[in-house]
Amino acid sequence: MSDVYIAGIDMIKFGKYPDKTPADLGGEAVLMALDDAGLTIHDVQAVYASNLMMANAAMGQQIMQRVGKTGVPVTNVTNACASGATAFRDGWIAIKAGLYDVVLAVGTEQVPKGLLGGPSKPGTLNTEGVFGSGTMPAVFAEAGMAHTAKYGTTFEQFAKVAVKNHHHSTMNPKAMLQNETPLEAVMGSEMIAYPLTKFMCSVNTDGAAAAILVSEKKARELGMGRMVKVRASALASDPYEPRHPSLFDPNSPTRLAVKTAYEMAGLGPDDLDLIELHDCFATAEILHYENLGLCADGEAGRLIDEGVTALGGKLPVNVSGGLLSKGHPIGATGIANLYELALHLRGEAGARQVEGARIGLAHVLGFGTSTAIHVLEKA
């Protein structure tokens, strides 16, 4: 089986685009990724497109109408917040299988204002084990409180995640928010669901990102200078477990997927130079330090207190600003995380560059539940 490389990858600046459609945004990202790879749409042999809010709208075909319809196979993917990473993985699988030498993965979304989550119809929420609302802030607030109950994690430690990621975003021109938020401002902002204040919740935004994946044969033909190797790709859903205090389980799927990814890559957490993980809420980042094996269970608070995961620390996490600042256009998020890793592995991240970065890990979690993990390596 061929190794798979990222030849081109890019994202638009995340923000609000009321005068454009998700397909318009996706088309922009595709053209940017093609330019980055030095290819055209005529070189692409298959397309994998992700979108959640308009999952029944043949989004991939709509995007191809913007950039050039060539008759290639188009597969539309929806997998909650893991949609973009799943589209990327499907393209990776297709090249691994020997079907294609060049594929396009693209994710796009326009996320409305307001709280996401909760039952789709009145009376359909399973109340077994539920401590409150099914909206996403409440779900991750409860997950954080479960961690606090077990390990003593504090409100201040959760808030420090937001301080860190908002600081990182000031160095990312493509982030929706680029503002410093001191600890007092984070802790004092509007309470959404304790311990999550407004500044500890990810931003509903519009955005798109795209990647051009190629076989090793094609990579060598194009030149290996800026290639990024996909060292591992893993996807997991939640296993059966007795119901626990969290409404959904944000932990087990991530632990399953990262175990597979580490084994596939022949690496462990000590080999990583940077991570982009799914900080949809500040509590989630704390949980995922432990889920990804960055520390023992119960020690995540220490990592944030000691600055281990800040830019300049031993293992920087979410130097893009994360979902908290960069934004979370659901269908695009998974590919945008990979874009951030690729920038650092190529040495092109500017002021936020992680020096000497060679190995990066990208993580997304979609409730339902699905977790995708990718490990990238400088070629």
DSSP string, 161-215: HHHHHHHHHTT-TT-S------HHHHHHSPEEETTEEGGGBPPP-EEEEEEEEEE
pLDDT for res 243? 62
pLDDT for res 249? 79
Considering the entire predicted model, what is its pTM? 0.95
> How would residue 124 be classed by pLDDT, with cut points 50, 70 and 90?
low
Active-site pick, 278, 288, 328, 374: 328
pLDDT for res 113? 76
- Model confidence over 245-280: pLDDT tens digits? 445 778 999 999 999 999 999 999 999 999 999 999
Strand partners, 370: 237, 366
pLDDT for res 1? 86
pLDDT for res 187? 98
Tokens of 220: 């060598």
Q: How much is the mean pLDDT over the chain?
A: 94
DSSP reduced 3-state for 14? coil
CA distance 312 to 166: 15
Q: Is the pLDDT of residue 128 over 60?
A: no
Q: For this structure, is 280 an active site residue?
A: no
Q: For this structure, is 328 an active site residue?
A: yes
Share of the chain above pLDDT 70, in %: 93
Window from 68-82, 122-136, 355-369 with minimum mean pLDDT:
122-136
Q: Is the pLDDT of residue 71 over 90?
A: yes
Window from 81-90, 123-132, 160-169 with minimum mean pLDDT:
123-132
